Amino acid sequence: MEQVAVVDVGSKVLKFNHALPEIGPMVIPTQMKQVPEDGSSADAFLLENKTVDPVIRGFISDWDAMEDLLKHVFYTGLGWEMGNEGQVLFTDPLSTPKAIREQLVQMMFENFNMSGFYASEQAVLSLYAVGRISGCTVDIGHGKTDIASVIEGAVQHISSRRFEIGGMDLTILFAQELGKSYPLMNLSFSECEKLKERYACCAEDAASYDQFQQSCPEEQHTLPDGQVIKIGRARYTVGEALFQPSILNLEAHGIVEQLVRCISTVSSENHRQLLENTVLCGGSASMTGFEDRFQKEANICSSAIRPCLVKPPEYMPDNLLKYSAWVGGAILAKVVFPQNQHVTKADYDETGPSIVHRKCF
């Protein structure tokens, strides 16, 4: 069989590798440094802090930058030869516009000369990664949160929701909270993000969070300039925002209640199958204490059937929570391509980019 790669493009990082789920993906930043249009480096120092984001809130927005990034993935990361590319499976965020799917398949066949292409929704793939074909996914990424229900390998879009809030918004909140204690502190977004990822956590419950507003455990951290700061309430506020969105000035229900309300729109006979097979995924879902808090909130939610989290199989790679869509894609690729269910170059030449909607669902 030809070489098959799986690519999962996120707003913050891009996961890729050959379709070997037991090995896991390679991970690189999605954000790229801007380079001069003529390719010269004479003024590179002027561009040191200028970057371009090919993906915003989960969707590709800068196609030239994305093409450059994928060139690195295919020819440097995977070691493919130009003109001798293999086959590729991409993961689709929830509610990806048709135009983006078509432009992606067009790029693969016209710019990269791929021999085969397939795309599948991230929610479906994350369930495959834990051995399920039906259930719910709560995917808290860098730029968005997707809540999706899947029945027999098909996303139920009527009961799925996309929220434009994610890890980047939690980083901004974390920086604002730190700024209340250290107004003169000058940290970049990336530095705040690293601190958030290291220290942010979830309180055991809402009552514990309220207590922490008065007094809470603090962690000392030494900044690169030698300044020592104490991180206390800020680290708990970040996690609490997912359960109390009012902290972010949003009039919305918490993440568990949002899940329950989404599922309430499907037939009641499917509620148990969906809620009792709930999968958490995305970088922010790996926050310390988040899984325990999610399950505790689930136990007191308004639904008669309570969400129950699926534990990843022991044989799966570490960090499955962060990379579940990629792992599911690697599993699916071992079925789709050998059985010729993918879009071939001949399919594309005959029908054009719209073929992606008929063969990839």
Model confidence pLDDT, tens digit, residues 246-284: 999 999 899 999 999 999 999 999 999 999 999 999 999
Residue 238, CB-side half-sphere exposure with 13 Å CA sphere: 33
Q: Mark the ranges of the chain whose per-residue pLDDT is less than 50.
A: 40-48
- Hey, what CATH topology would domain 167-240 get? Actin; Chain A, domain 4 (3.90.640)
For residues 31 and 50, what is the distance between their CA atoms, to the nearest angstrom?
10
Helix (H, G, I), strand (E, B) or coil at 188: coil
Residue 264, CB-side half-sphere exposure with 13 Å CA sphere: 11
What pLDDT was estimated at residue 39?
54
For residues 163 and 111, what is the distance between their CA atoms, to the nearest angstrom?
32
- Model pTM above 0.85: yes
For residues 251 and 259, what is the distance between their CA atoms, to the nearest angstrom?
16
For residues 324 and 293, what is the distance between their CA atoms, to the nearest angstrom?
21
User: Which class would CATH give 4-122+317-359?
Assistant: alpha beta
Residue 121: both structure tokens together: 């929704």
What pLDDT was estimated at residue 36?
55
What pLDDT was estimated at residue 311?
86
What pLDDT was estimated at residue 43?
43
Measured in residues, the chain has a length of 361
Q: Would you say 232 and 218 are in contact if contact means Cβ atoms under 8 Å apart?
A: yes
What pLDDT was estimated at residue 299?
93
What pLDDT was estimated at residue 254?
94
Q: Say yes or no: do domains 129-165+251-299 and 167-240 share a fold.
A: no
For residues 125 and 19, what is the distance between their CA atoms, to the nearest angstrom?
13
> For domain 129-165+251-299, which CATH number applies: 3.40.190.10, 3.30.420.40, 3.20.20.70, 3.40.50.300?
3.30.420.40
Residue 94, CB-side half-sphere exposure with 13 Å CA sphere: 28
- In angstroms, the first-to-last Cα distance of the chain is 23
Q: What single string gives the DSSP state of each residue in 269-301?
A: GGHHHHHTTEEEESGGGGSBTHHHHHHHHHHTS
Q: Cα 264 to the chain's mean position, in Å?
A: 24
Q: What residue ranges do the domains of the chain occupy? A: 4-122+317-359, 129-165+251-299, 167-240
Q: Cα 207 to the chain's mean position, in Å?
A: 30
Q: Cα 175 to the chain's mean position, in Å?
A: 22
pLDDT in tens, 55-72: 999 999 999 999 999 999
Other C-beta atoms lying within 10 Å of the C-beta of residue 344: 17
